[in-house]
A = this chain, B = another copy of it.
């Protein structure tokens, strides 16, 4: 027997309409690529999202057709999120930091019909447009008069010209909530990128889960700054969760340097900012160099990579900002866990609280977690035993677009590729990516642990620990370090820094100082490249 509740489908169009109706004058502020600030409301955003939907109808796009974006965080990108998905098409966010040939490969694989791009990315579009065989319409996210006449790109027009004639009174279609809504490709270590296809249902459920007090804790009293890009797992779903809660939304555009982010936080009275550790590193460096303070910022959400404990302390002790450590990946929409204290832990002394807060946190309802050994057997939640992290839930991937990569699930669970511990209170801590673990003499060394200790040294700006082949031990850890500008530290001093912090056999065999560490398109250190570069590095005897 079925219950007798209304059969309302969970649709992304409901999110923007809810915001337009209940938070009509709440603001969306965007730093444009031109450098100026653009400010309007959820009401305005809804009207223009409806125009996008009507414009897609006029182009004759079918249900579930893909519309690509190459864009920074900004109001037009937001309108595309809601207008494309709300009208039944699929918004396909493409990471502009990928090599152009990979962008073209992705657009072709997704069979994008339309591609919308910020003018910053015109050079990319010029390079790839003729190779994107399915794209019929190229939309430049600017005013009509800002599109150069001589690009040679067939089907190019401006966004403003494209939507202006359309009706803001468009009525959103109703359809099955499991319909595809958004597509995001993730680069594996091998093979082509694979597409993760979110549904309306998964997006709305994830927004509820992410707005909870123990996740992002979003309310109509918040002002949220997603520094994490909208081309990177939908900026962790923040545009959706903000519409759901009526939070003011601040979109930083292309200006992700410390100074720009700091000024935006101050000028817009941001309460919550979200990003990856490398962005916060830039912000903290700017703050320290110029003696700045925050006036409104309460919380920063840090995810994408493990956050160095030193960064959590600096935010808290120096600036009074609570770091919310979170974990997720493209395949998990992305939020899987967040690290907030439980009632009993609020009574612990600060150092014991810190031991909790450095973890990636507890699963939110909607995500089930387990750790398993090589044979797939579930391991204990003792905070010590580490194993492969598997997850399950209504916003977790079951397979990739077009079936690429086969069936990724193991007994119905998605294997994340992360290695983690889970303690008795459910707090999960990533100890490594399974491919980054260093196997030395039959034991595992966590590259993240070794990096965190290096990051706590005042002269170290960035550190990667990689395994280098060793005839006797299989692999031995080597530390690759970028020094802070003007700072000096010797190899011996850094290695001495490890004594007493890890077992002696876990101390790196060598330190390699470099000018920079290669970062991937999502800002993560590319340790695979370092391993390749230093695979013949001579190890001390």
Q: Chain B residues near A220 (CB, 8 Å)? A: 214, 340-343, 362
Given A1-B179, A213-B211, A343-B222, do A363 and B248 touch, yes or no (CB 8 Å)?
Answer: no
A342 to B26, Cβ gap below 8 A? yes
B180 to A24, Cβ gap below 8 A? no
Cβ distance A460 to chain B, nearest Cβ, rounded Å: 35
Given A7-B398, A181-B3, A342-B220, do A18 and B365 touch, yes or no (CB 8 Å)?
Answer: yes
Stretch at the interface among A195-203, A283-291, A438-446, A515-523: A195-203
Does any Cβ of B come within 8 Å of A464's Cβ? no
A201 to B398, Cβ gap below 8 A? no
Does any Cβ of B come within 8 Å of A221's Cβ? yes
Q: Which residue of B lies closest to A216 (CB)?
A: B213
B426 to A199, Cβ gap below 8 A? no
- Using an 8 Å CB-CB cutoff, how does the interface string of A146-171 with B read, 1 for contact, 0 for none? 00000000000000000000000000
Does any Cβ of B come within 8 Å of A303's Cβ? no
A343 to B397, Cβ gap below 8 A? no
Q: Chain B residues near A309 (CB, 8 Å)? A: none
A399 to B4, Cβ gap below 8 A? yes
Does any Cβ of B come within 8 Å of A96's Cβ? no
A4 to B401, Cβ gap below 8 A? yes
A3 to B180, Cβ gap below 8 A? yes
B22 to A426, Cβ gap below 8 A? yes
A212 to B211, Cβ gap below 8 A? yes
A-side interface size class: 35 or more
Q: Chain B residues near A412 (CB, 8 Å)? A: 6
Given A213-B211, A219-B212, A221-B346, do A1 and B394 touch, yes or no (CB 8 Å)?
Answer: no
Q: Chain B residues near A342 (CB, 8 Å)? A: 23, 26, 220-221, 246
Q: Which residue of B lies closest to A63 (CB)?
A: B1
B426 to A2, Cβ gap below 8 A? no
- A51→B1 CA distance, assembly (Å): 23
Q: A residues 56-78 with Cβ under 8 Å of B?
A: 63-64
Q: Chain B residues near A198 (CB, 8 Å)? A: 3, 5
- A333→B425 CA distance, assembly (Å): 31
Q: A residues 38-70 with Cβ under 8 Å of B?
A: 63-64
Does any Cβ of B come within 8 Å of A209's Cβ? yes
- A393→B204 CA distance, assembly (Å): 14
A3 to B201, Cβ gap below 8 A? yes
Q: Chain B residues near A180 (CB, 8 Å)? A: 1-4
4 closest Cβ contacts across the A-B interface?
A3-B199, A1-B64, A22-B426, A213-B219
Q: Could you list 27 examples of A-B contacts with CB < 8 Å?
A: A1-B63, A1-B180, A1-B197, A3-B180, A3-B181, A3-B199, A3-B202, A5-B397, A6-B397, A8-B393, A18-B363, A18-B365, A18-B368, A23-B425, A23-B426, A25-B424, A212-B212, A212-B218, A212-B245, A214-B219, A219-B340, A221-B340, A221-B342, A222-B343, A223-B343, A246-B342, A246-B362
Question: A residues touching B (Cβ–Cβ < 8 Å)?
Answer: 1-8, 10, 14-15, 18, 21-26, 63-64, 90, 176, 178-181, 196-202, 205, 207-209, 211-214, 217-223, 244-246, 248, 333, 340-344, 346, 362-363, 365, 368, 392-401, 412, 414, 424-426
